[in-house]
Amino acid sequence: MKKIGVWFILMTMITTMFAPVSYAKEESGPELVESAKSAILLERDTGEILYEKNSGESLPPASMTKIMTMILIMEALDEGKLKLNEKVRASEYAASMGGSQIFLEPGEEMTVEELLKGVAVASGNDASVALAERIAGSEAVFVKQMNQKVKELGLTNTKFQNTTGLPANDHYSTAHDMAVMAKELLKHEQITKYTSIYEDYLRKGTDNEFWLVNTNKLVKFYTGVDGLKTGFTREAMYCLTATAKKDDMRVIAVVMGAESPKDRNADISAMLDYAFNHYETESLYERHQPVDTLKNIRAAKTKVDVVTSESVSVLKKKGQTIENVDEKLVYNKNLTLPIQKGEIVGTLTITSNGKPLSKTNVVVNETVEEAGVWTLFKRSMSELVKQR
């Protein structure tokens, strides 16, 4: 495998020269979060934890539940099962949702894009259920899909009972799990087009025009914040999963159980300040950038690009040097045809002096079908002719 020539500036302090490349908060680290019951801060590309406080404690996530709802919505859009300009008719059940809402009427039609704005900006419970019913047929089936996605992400401390985050028994998550879900949602880069909106309108120019105002005030008041989702119930108190990008680095910060919106925003801001003041990343690959070519003589198309499943970066403390950065691509054993577009076929590992810095799944960027008998026969004959 090729070697990446990545050289960083010389260290400013000799003590950083031999520091291990590990960024999880130590016991003696800064206490960034005062109000919230639990919190976590991580860098998006590498998944490295920069700070945490009780991040594994199970708590009600309130409307941060909609992060998983939006993951499934974005997947449906990517797969062509849903279109932004498609109109969705609101059921009586969807229109009956309490709490935050965009006040859908039974039988009212809105486009998928309008409903997605209603979820991402105004945290509309009615919009969430309307989209869930369109994708899965019912909210109950959609919730099963949400919990299946939880398993696929390897999360063990999350369980959903609805698409909205309205109070329900046995409905819980953790700051850690919410951060992982946010990382997954951010693979769909278009989502920040909606979560970054501070204000907009639905039904504009009509008698029942609705003013959308983002429940995440940091979108307006903290430079670089472009999502993702707030949450509040009396049980959950004030919660927020936020993301911000500065230069090449994107971070995710989560707080759960803060005492007030002001405390919630202060805790998130403190974590974001810490991340951007002390860390930086070097981008190596964009999402879906080719890293290799998969060759299979038995495939209908013998060569297909292997691409990154998400963006790949190296994280370092400011002023730190990381030397001898290499990449290693290892394919999964016993790959069999057909291979579906987006299917994981291997792992790209970035190392420094043999120490792993990041590990990213690689996928094929198109479906690889098995070649037919006639195609295989012609290839065999062609090889025989070459050997003569």
> Per the residue annotation, which of 35, 91, 123, 313 is the catalytic one?
123
Q: Is 382 a catalytic residue?
A: no
Provide the pLDDT for residue 362.
96
* Cα–Cα distance, 284 to 300 (Å, whole number): 31
Helices (H), the chain: 66-78, 92-95, 112-120, 125-136, 139-152, 175-185, 191-195, 218-221, 261-278, 373-387
Q: pTM to 2 decimals?
A: 0.86
Superfamily of domain 36-280: DD-peptidase/beta-lactamase superfamily (3.40.710.10)
* Cα–Cα distance, 92 to 96 (Å, whole number): 6
Per-10-residue mean pLDDT for the chain, 388 residues long?
Answer: 34 33 47 95 96 98 98 97 98 96 98 98 98 98 98 98 98 98 96 98 94 96 98 98 96 98 98 97 92 88 92 92 90 91 94 89 92 68 66
> Per the residue annotation, which of 35, 38, 55, 63 is the catalytic one?
63
Residue type, 55: S
168 class by beta-carbon count within 10 Å (0-12 exposed, 13-18 middle, 19+ buried): middle
> Per the residue annotation, which of 53, 66, 117, 149 is the catalytic one?
66
Cα–Cα separations (whole angstroms), residue 292 to 1, 195, 296, 301, 386: 10, 34, 13, 15, 26
* Cα–Cα distance, 50 to 80 (Å, whole number): 36
Phi/psi at 328 (5° precision) = -135, 125
| CATH 3.40.710.10 placement within the chain | 36-280
- Beta strands 303-308 and 290-295 are antiparallel
Q: Is 66 a catalytic residue?
A: yes
For domain 286-373, is the CATH number 2.60.410.10? Answer: yes
Residue 246 is labelled as binding a ligand: no
| CATH 2.60.410.10 placement within the chain | 286-373
Q: What single string gives the DSSP state of each residue in 47-76?
A: --EEEEESTT--B--GGGGHHHHHHHHHHH
Provide the pLDDT for residue 387.
67
Provide the pLDDT for residue 24.
42
Q: Is 22 a catalytic residue?
A: no
* Cα–Cα distance, 49 to 183 (Å, whole number): 12
